[in-house]
Amino acid sequence: MTAGAVVDTGPLVAYFCANEARHGWAVQQFANLTPPLLTCEPVLTEACFLLARQKVPAWRLLESLGHGALRIAFRLDAEAETVTRLMRRYSNMPMSLGDACLVRLAEISGLPVCTLDSDFAIYRMGRSKRLALIIPQDRR
């Protein structure tokens, strides 16, 4: 097993939806990562919404919090200024609140971001440091 990761919406949805194109990839990645995987509430909100649209019970995702596989490791109230700066810097994309929280969480934790979103290849920690990513090869 490798160290944990900061996890984005896409891999969470793919993990819980067997009919998602990246389901196998997500299952493999999560099996190789040491829990808990870290995330933030905006990611969980979006993932629960997308799971419900796929007719997958969102409570299955929330159960992973209770089992210790996933942990909310970010307090937006404490990081609002930094998150705001990130969203302003990437406003031309635009950067979502969830993405900004995950970039900041990666900075704080030093962990890679597990994502399906190629925008994370553009985002930087500080001014120039690339994020370490766990992402399918064809998304880089």
8-43 pLDDT, tens digit per residue, is: 999 999 999 999 999 999 999 999 999 999 999 999
For residue 42, give both structure tokens: 């905006």
Domains of the chain by range and CATH?
6-139 (3.40.50.1010)
C-alpha distances out from residue 9 to 30, 39, 69, Å: 13, 9, 15
Contact predicate 139/118, CB 8 Å: yes
94 upstream amide cis, omega within 30 of 0: yes
The span from the CA of 100 to the CA of 84, in Å, is 8
**Predicted TM-score (pTM) of this structure:** 0.95
Give the tens place of pLDDT for each residue, 54-97.
Answer: 999 999 999 999 999 999 999 999 999 999 999 999 999 999 99
CA–CA gap between residue 14 and residue 82 (Å, rounded): 29
